[in-house]
Amino acid sequence: MTADPLEALELGQRVRIDVLVDDVKPSGERPSLVERLRSLQPELRLVRVLDPEDQFPEPDRGVLLRRPFSLDELENAIAQALKSEPSME
């Protein structure tokens, strides 16, 4: 578990990541962490965390979870992601 994108990429080179909980914050400065991890692990599953007002036009790219959420809601989102087929980008 890490909150550091560079550490997540390094981990993705060493271990299998079953589910990535991704805070959806657009950034034009660098390639998407998800895209880079998917190049290493195409079967990666996602839980996308959004603010209540955020729009995410591509719901097939993971399970969506809106803030605020409880631990139970996070657990359910991860379980749902694990049950789903990996979405290939």
pLDDT at site 34: 85
What value does the mean pLDDT take over residues 49-57? 80
What percentage of the chain reaches a pLDDT higher than 90? 47
pLDDT at site 66: 93
Query: Rounded to two decimals, what is the model's pTM?
Result: 0.79
Q: Are 20 and 40 in contact (CB under 8 A)?
A: no
For the cut 70, the answer to whether the pLDDT of residue 64 exceeds it is yes
83 class by beta-carbon count within 10 Å (0-12 exposed, 13-18 middle, 19+ buried): exposed
